[in-house]
């Protein structure tokens, strides 16, 4: 049994799980929306109040980990972009007694791919597969095989929170501004000629739940769910016409995502367009799964130890 916490731009996520030969068996899975990346795109700094919210969430989440279970704490876009990342790492260590591992964009992309490939390896999917992970501050696109062979990909400085702040929360983004940021990551993945597109992360799972009109969010109903670009365009259009308060009433949408979900949907649509995919499949396997699946030797290779 192992535990991993991901400190993202929008949320802090905990997964405690057993690693079985054929699957990852989640035992504890929790999320706290803290918006750590508030203002990082503009100022390059983690705000004091955002750090405090995140440290409070870390205390809550680490308390849910059974005694004796090893914990890894990872940080992604907001922390790696912030000039005061070292200060935050010290605060994490002082608060919960665990060292913070700040992932590079390429490390984040690889972990997301590993998690998705393992979770979906029983499905009939054409190789190679490209995995897109839309976070709050960045978007990763990585291509590999169902057996977990890594081929290549990249990370883009474009995420749902970052885009929300750039648009002021009052306008929808245009394709040109997204394409300029996402184009390189898409091209790096396309070099390996992926045949299947898989999406992971909060944006993808939320959209899968909304498209299915779930009254209660369910990993079981989201994992492996497939939808078309036309269905996503329709969902994006509906979300864009709703106010933030109206989005807050969507039963399967996690509280704290109501302002960013439309921007995450816009990014996912742009990735599909850039890569030429008309359909994608959602996986609940992501970088949390990918981290738990790594051997000690792989962690050393990726610079985690």
Q: All domains of the chain, ordered by start, with CATH?
A: 2-102 (3.30.420.40), 106-287 (3.30.420.150)
Helix (H, G, I), strand (E, B) or coil at 282: strand
- Note the pLDDT of residue 23: 86
Long-range contacts of 146-149 (CB under 8 A, 24+ apart): 146/117, 146/120, 146/121, 147/117, 147/121, 148/114, 148/117, 148/118, 148/121
- Note the pLDDT of residue 122: 85
**Cα 96 to Cα 149: distance, rounded to the nearest angstrom:** 35
The residues facing 33 across adjacent strands are: 11
**Cα 113 to Cα 109: distance, rounded to the nearest angstrom:** 6
Nearest alpha carbon to residue 221 among 209, 239, 234, 204:
209
Sheet holding 150-156, edge to edge: 150-156, 139-144, 129-134, 196-200, 279-282, 226-228
Tokens 């997964």 -> residue: 15
Q: Which ranges of the chain have pLDDT less than 70?
A: 295-305
- Sort 200 into a burial class: Cβ within 10 Å, 0-12 / 13-18 / 19+: buried
**Chain segment 267-288, per-residue pLDDT in tens:** 999 999 999 999 999 999 999 9
- Note the pLDDT of residue 298: 56
Nearest alpha carbon to residue 186 among 97, 98, 268:
268
Helix boundaries (H) for the chain:
40-43, 48-62, 77-81, 85-96, 105-119, 160-166, 175-190, 202-211, 219-222, 229-241, 244-248, 261-275, 287-293, 296-301
- Note the pLDDT of residue 295: 59
Q: What pTM was estimated for this model as a whole?
A: 0.93
**Chain segment 42-96, per-residue pLDDT in tens:** 999 999 999 999 999 999 999 999 999 999 999 999 999 999 999 999 999 999 9
- Note the pLDDT of residue 297: 47
- Note the pLDDT of residue 302: 55
- Note the pLDDT of residue 300: 47
């Amino acid at each position: 049994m192992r535990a991993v916490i991901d400190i993202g731009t929008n949320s802090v996520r905990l997964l405690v799980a057993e690693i079985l030969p054929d699957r990852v068996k989640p035992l504890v899975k929790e999320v706290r929306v803290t918006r750590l990346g508030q203002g990082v795109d503009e100022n390059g700094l983690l705000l004091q109040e955002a750090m405090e919210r995140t440290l409070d969430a870390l205390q809550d989440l680490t308390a849910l980990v059974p005694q004796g279970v090893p914990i890894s704490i990872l940080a992604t876009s907001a922390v790696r972009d912030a000039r005061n990342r070292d200060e935050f790492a010290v605060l994490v260590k002082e608060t919960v007694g665990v060292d913070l591992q700040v992932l590079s964009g390429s490390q984040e992309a690889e972990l997301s791919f590993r998690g998705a490939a393992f979770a979906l390896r029983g499905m009939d999917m054409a190789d190679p597969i490209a995995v897109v992970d839309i976070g709050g501050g960045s978007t990763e696109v990585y291509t590999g095989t169902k057996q977990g062979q890594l081929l290549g990909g990249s990370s883009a400085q474009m995420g749902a929170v970052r885009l929300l702040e750039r648009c002021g929360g009052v306008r929808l983004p245009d394709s040109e501004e997204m394409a300029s940021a996402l184009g390189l990551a898409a091209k790096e993945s396309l070099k390996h000629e992926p045949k299947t597109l898989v999406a992971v992360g909060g944006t993808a799972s939320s959209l899968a739940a909304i498209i299915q009109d779930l009254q209660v969010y369910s990993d079981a109903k989201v994992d492996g769910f497939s939808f078309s670009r036309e269905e996503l365009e329709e969902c994006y259009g509906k979300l864009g016409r709703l106010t933030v308060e109206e989005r807050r009433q969507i039963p399967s949408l996690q509280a704290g995502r109501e302002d960013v979900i439309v921007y995450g949907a816009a990014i996912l649509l742009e990735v599909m367009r850039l890569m030429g995919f008309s359909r994608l499949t959602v996986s609940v396997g992501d970088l949390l799964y990918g981290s738990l699946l790594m051997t000690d030797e792989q962690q050393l290779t990726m610079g985690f130890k």
